[in-house]
A and B are shown apart, each in its own frame.
Chain A
Amino acid sequence: MAIAEQQTSTQASSDKSWHGIVLQTLKRNEISLIPYVPDRVLTPLIKNLHADPFFTTFATAREEEAVGIVSGAWMGGRRGAVLMQTSGFATLANTLASLAVPYQIPLIMFVSERGTLGEFNYGQSLVCRTMRPVLDSLALEHHTITRLDELEFIADRSIKQAVTTQAPVALILNPLLTGGKVFDK
């Protein structure tokens, strides 16, 4: 188990951890529907979202499904966000290009970044390289968050921008922020 992971796990109730800041920022922006496909790094965030009755938090079988759900919810007047990892984002190009972007839906995505800064799985490092080119090819707003002191500003402003401009945003949670996932066997 990575030291960084252990640290984030023990900070579960702290608002000053990266996941505490994400949870509070979601709540402050009235984002209550959180479908996700899990990721090791996101585990403390997912656990705390499940524990907070403000949120409806549940796993989906695929990331596309989660995007469909929050898109429908937004049209019905309820805000949501999707949690996923890099390889999950790689399954989304068609859904982004045929649903979120053309219908002008403020899809809010948090992507735990694998494939860089100590990746041990070659496939993960390759799929990570497809993420930003896909985002850029659709001119989708995206930020890579590396610093705890910038997280709240970037997340809060990006959510507000997505809603007011009716455009998707991807917030990429870099290992410099989260500790990432490292080889442990």
Chain B
Amino acid sequence: MSSKTNTRNTKVMNRFDLTSRLIAKLKHEEAVIGGIGNTNFDLWAAGHRPQNFYMLGSMGLAFPIALGVALAQPDRRVFALEGDGSLLMQLGALSTIAALKPKNLIMIVMDNGIYQITGAQPTPAAGVADLVAIALGSGLTNSAWAADEEDFERLVDEAMSADEPSLIALRIDDKPGVGTTRRDPVQIRERFMHGLGVRDPL
């Protein structure tokens, strides 16, 4: 499997559009962890849900945080949205997830090949590495590039009933996020815990 073949046939999509498509599919209070920067800005812009968690730092930890939620609540589907630059910071997490095999965890990688938010510098992986090949090599056998928006929705539907963790990689354009998350970490965490049924509001 050649990475060039893989990515060349993959449509360049838009993060906000894809995030909105995902959110529209969530009917069972699925948890969504939004990685740092544009990834959670677009999650915020797609419409706040109490089951959304927005990261304001700790770059690279969207998948580990989602793994923790998935291990705590095995009956709830947990999505993690992560950028390619963020994922590159924590590639070891892919093997951890592959070893634990939480079937309720669905990882989505938004790959634009750049650190858009810091000035669009290319990542070290841009043009040379294939994130799906890395995921497969890390032991995540249910990993795929989405060919286009419809294929993404099909892959999400499959992942919803999969019996192993899923990773869906999306080639996206260089647009910034369309919203800005309110940077209030305590409220974000507290509302997320309400959304997961762990706590009641005061």
Q: Which of B39-47, B56-64, B124-132, B174-182 contacts A (4 or more CB under 8 A)?
A: B56-64
A68 touches B (CB below 8 Å): yes
Question: Distance in Å from the Cβ of A58 to the closest Cβ of chain B?
Answer: 6
Taken together as a complex, chains A and B put the C-alpha atoms of A98 and B37 apart, in Å, by 13
Q: Which of B179-202 contact A (CB under 8 A)?
A: 185-186, 188-189, 192-193, 196-198
Question: For residue B183, which residue of chain A has the nearest CB?
Answer: A102
Instruction: Please choose the segment from B3-11, B69-77, B115-123, B156-164 that sits at the chain A interface, where 4 or more of its residues have CB less than 8 A away.
Output: B69-77
Query: In the complex, what residue of chain A is closest to B138 when comparing beta carbons?
Result: A61
Residues of A within 8 A of B53 (CB): 75
Q: With A62-B92, A77-B198 as known contacts, state yes or no: A103 contacts B68, CB within 8 Å.
A: no
- Chain A window 66-89, contacts with chain B (Cβ cutoff 8 Å), 1 for yes, 0 for no: 111111111111101000000000
What is the CA–CA distance of A116 and B93 in the complex, to the nearest angstrom?
31
Q: How large is the interface on A (under 10, 10 to 19, 20 to 34, 35 or more residues)?
A: 20 to 34
Q: Bound complex: CA of A103 vs CA of B186, how far in Å?
A: 5
B67 at the interface (CB under 8 A from A): yes
Given A68-B61, A98-B58, A61:B93 Cβ within 8 A: yes
A37 to B95, CA, bound (A): 14
Q: Is the CB of A98 within 8 A of B68?
A: no
Structural contact, B57 and A98, CB atoms closer than 8 A: yes
CB < 8 Å: which of A56, A60, A62, A67 contacts B71? A56
B65 touching A62, Cβ below 8 Å:
no
The reply on A95 being an interface residue by CB < 8 A is yes
**B71-A33 in contact (CB<8A):** yes
Can you name the residue of chain A whose Cβ is closest to the Cβ of B57? A98
Known: A58-B96, A62-B92, A65-B96. A102 touches B186 (CB 8 A): yes
How many A-B contacts if CB must be within 8 Å?
126
- Which one of A59, A76, A103 contacts B198 once the chains associate, using CB atoms below 8 Å? A76
Return chain A residues, CB-CB under 8 Å to B55: 99
B residues 14-62 in Cβ contact with A at 8 Å: 31, 33, 53, 55-61
**A105 with B189: CB separation less than 8 A:** yes
A99: chain B residues at CB < 8 Å are 55, 57-58, 61
Could you tell me the distance in whole angstroms from the C-beta of B106 to the nearest C-beta in chain A?
A: 14
Q: Does A94 have its Cβ within 8 Å of any Cβ on chain B?
A: yes
Q: Note all chain B residues with C-beta closer than 8 A to A78.
A: 68, 71-73
Indicate whether A126 reaches chain B with its CB closer than 8 angstroms.
no
Q: Min CB distance, A12 to chain B, in Å?
A: 24
Given the interface pairs A61-B95, A102-B56, the reply to whether A71 lies near B90 with Cβ below 8 Å is no
Residue of B72, B192, B193, B196 with most partner-chain A CB within 10 A: B72
The verdict on B88 contacting chain A, using a C-beta distance below 8 Å, is no
For residue B9, give the distance in angstroms from its CB to the closest CB of chain A.
31
Which residue of A73, A97, A103 has the most chain B CB atoms within 10 A of its CB atom?
A103
Task: Name the A residues within 8 Å of B71 (CB-CB).
Answer: 33, 56, 69, 72-73, 76, 78
Judged by a CB distance under 8 angstroms, whether A64 is at the interface is: yes
9 other A-B residue contacts (CB within 8 Å) besides A72-B71, A76-B196, A104-B189: A59-B96, A60-B92, A60-B93, A64-B64, A72-B65, A72-B72, A75-B53, A77-B73, A95-B61
A→B interface (CB under 8 Å) = 33, 35, 56, 58-62, 64-78, 80, 94-95, 97-99, 102-105
